Amino acid sequence: MNVKKVFSQAFAFGLALTLTACGGSNKDDSNKDNNASNSPSTPASNSKGDAEVDNFKAQTNDNTLVVGVDSIGGEFIQGFNNGTNDVTAREFMGIQGAASYDTYIKDRNGKYNWNPTVLEEEPKTVKNDDGSSTTTFKLKKDLKWSDGEAITVDDYLFKSLLHSSKDYSVITGSTEIGADSIKGYNDYREGKTDEFVGLKKIDDNTFEATIDSSFLPYFEEEYLKAFNARPIHYIAPNLKVEGSKLALKDGYELSEDDKKAYIESLDQQIKAEQEAYDEKVKDAGEEDADAKKEHEEKKKNLEDKKSAAENGGDIDPTKMLVEQAMIFDANDYRKKPAVTCGPYKFVSFENNMVKLALNENYAGDFEGHKATIPNVIIQAINTEIAVDLVKNGDIDIYEQEMNGSKIDQMRKAADEGKLSYVSYDRNGYGCLKFLTDRGPTQYKEVRQAIAFLMDRNDFVQNFAGGYAVVTNGMYGSSQWMYKERGADVESKLTNYTLNIDEANKRLDASPYKFEKDGKTPWDAQKAQEQYKSNASSFDYYRYDENGKKLQINQFGAKQSEITTLLSNQLPDNAKQAGLEYNVQAGDFNTLLNYMYNPKEGDAAEYTAFNMGNGFGTPFDPYYQYNSKGNDNTTKTNDPKADEITVKLRQTDPSKKDEYLDRWEEFQQWYNDYLPEIPLYSNQVHSAASSRVEGFEGVTPEWGVSCQINQMSLK
């Protein structure tokens, strides 16, 4: 059965990858119809582009910085979508990122440091007899939310207590798993106790957090001490934190209005559960007995709670308010975060623009810098004309350009004094991502064959214009591990190049080694003869013993030039190996939905997706490739991956060489298993208009939404 969750489209948590429409260039209007087009788009003509530049309605003024982006999803909290531009908006508002009030902050070099703007002193950590470690945090007393309310320990513990409960994901569809490194997580998550023993409120400004022994050692332990605040007074005004649990505020009494709201929320949950199940059945084409039983039990539980409430039965007011807080957090706050703690506060999201205003209560970032620009707008634009818009002053910032010709245009404009730019090696890469648990891409040999059916150097030259390198593992050229061990590990990895013979060898070792009858061995020579005779009408494909054709459908963002380059290469090359390969282009948010919510088995429409990945810090691929990882979008389930990802994350922080050895071991596994085919890692260029000052501080780990506290307008 399809595991699609209500409200959930994509995922963001901690070390999740940020996702981009790799090589994006054409406009992607993410608030319009998401139906996919039939073929990859081509860049706009110069005359059309010039006209669009002339007709562009600029939002810039003396008090407003405008950041141009390719699309905006409008997902302002983690757990639903991790598109890079939504992350940027969150960082401006301090919902996450270096400008936030997190207890530990990642600096411009990717290192985590305690936050002296938020904390009275450096947190103290003690080792416990059971192997766990307890850290004490003392907050400063003058911190305020954007609405003027005081920030207290309750705000820091509230998010972990709310999101760590399994009910949060069940009720909201979020893929957030909460504070999984904290002692007592499993019992709290499963509802065996209402106390999260590893979290403890001491007073309004002091709390303790205990990291479970099963997570230690952890190579970058400071990351596990990064706690994030959420406004409990706004999301759950009648709740407080009492010790290690959520509790009713003193004096609260359950009112008739509360009961009515509770019943309405149960109605919404019943409706959502039924709609989700109906969609699962539709996707699968049949009912699964176990799934039906689970659905009926969930629905009956909700209906029983509703019936009891309507008939005057006892209502647990704490549980009721917690459930309402979960729904408000995931529905209302997610789309309109009216109370924040970062340099900017939310104003609106409409017409493909996020409007933000300076937060007068912001105390500054962890280095003491404080934003001064009154307003920020994040605006979706046609990225084909992005450099022209920056040059003309119609927008102020355009980040992470990767197209070689546009980079050349940017550099030329800088030489003419019309804009400034920064360049840096990318902390990420472009890739072709697979679902490894369904369809033909579940077979390693098929994935390897696809890697031998493309010329990745073509992407470097024709898309990146030479501002990139081909990579063979899960690394970016800016990562410290690659800088120290890149040369060593490269010599141990397979360099996949265009080679039809090698592709056929891999496919001959897969189930797809027969002709249509499922018995006659497929013949590479026969395929070559038919291909040379008439490639356009080629139909000599591979089949398995059950007569299933070797067919792979790939989805790519229509604004991505990589989608076009792949569609020009793979379908034609694949014929020579007996593979029918189809490329479909459409909206990037549609791509995310197909990837995160695929249909089961052969019913999955697409099992390959081209996109860009930005790496989190610290580097912990457990979340992406361990079978228990909650960002495992490739559906990887491999014992070797389970073993090495645990070993890597649990390396003692003092044993750097051991960590690097395990990093190499992981890269060798990745290069062989190929959950993704890495395409290239770029040198990224970001541009700013001539009126922007302080832009030069941007790095791979530190974008404009982090640098904003040191920027100004002339």
Asked if residue 446 has pLDDT above 70, the reply is yes
Q: What is the mean pLDDT of residues 147-165?
A: 98
Domain boundaries, the chain: 256-314
Instruction: Assign 23 a pLDDT band (cuts: 50, 70, 90).
Output: low
* CA distances, 497 to each of 503, 678, 682, 694 (Å): 10, 12, 19, 42
Which residue would you say has higher pLDDT here, 607 or 430? 607
The distance of Cα 514 from the centroid of its chain, to the nearest Å, equals 39
Q: Find residue 144's DSSP bridge partners.
A: 150
Angle between helices 256-284 and 317-328 (to 10 degrees): 60
pLDDT attached to residue 645? 98
In this structure, of 136-140, 153-157, 333-337, 588-592, the range with the lowest mean pLDDT score is 588-592
Asked if residue 33 has pLDDT above 90, the reply is no
Q: Is 428 strand, coil or helix? A: strand
Provide CB contacts within 8 A for 564, sequence distance 6+.
Answer: 40, 41, 42, 585
pLDDT attached to residue 18? 55
* CA distances, 107 to each of 223, 474, 697 (Å): 12, 22, 12
Tens digit of each residue's pLDDT (9 = 90 or more) over 489-531? 999 999 999 999 999 999 999 999 999 999 999 999 999 999 9
The residue count of the chain comes to 714
Q: Could you tell me which of 634, 609, 633, 612 has the C-alpha nearest to residue 556?
A: 609
Asked if residue 608 has pLDDT above 60, the reply is yes
Q: Whole-model pTM?
A: 0.81
Provide CB contacts within 8 A for 347, sequence distance 6+.
Answer: 355, 356, 357
Q: Which segment, 43-57, 70-84, 120-134, 255-269, is predicted with the most confidence on average?
A: 120-134
pLDDT attached to residue 13? 30
Q: What is the mean pLDDT of residues 678-696?
A: 94
Rounded Cα–Cα distance for residues 11 and 623 (Å): 11
Asked if residue 30 has pLDDT above 50, the reply is no
Asked if residue 701 has pLDDT above 90, the reply is no
Rounded Cα–Cα distance for residues 706 and 562 (Å): 29
pLDDT attached to residue 39? 31
Angle between helices 639-649 and 656-673 (to 10 degrees): 160
Instruction: Assign 122 a pLDDT band (cuts: 50, 70, 90).
Output: very high
The distance of Cα 126 from the centroid of its chain, to the nearest Å, equals 33
Query: Mean pLDDT of all residues in the chain?
Result: 90
Helix, strand, coil shares, percent, the chain, to 5: 40, 20, 45
Q: What is the mean pLDDT of residues 528-547?
A: 97
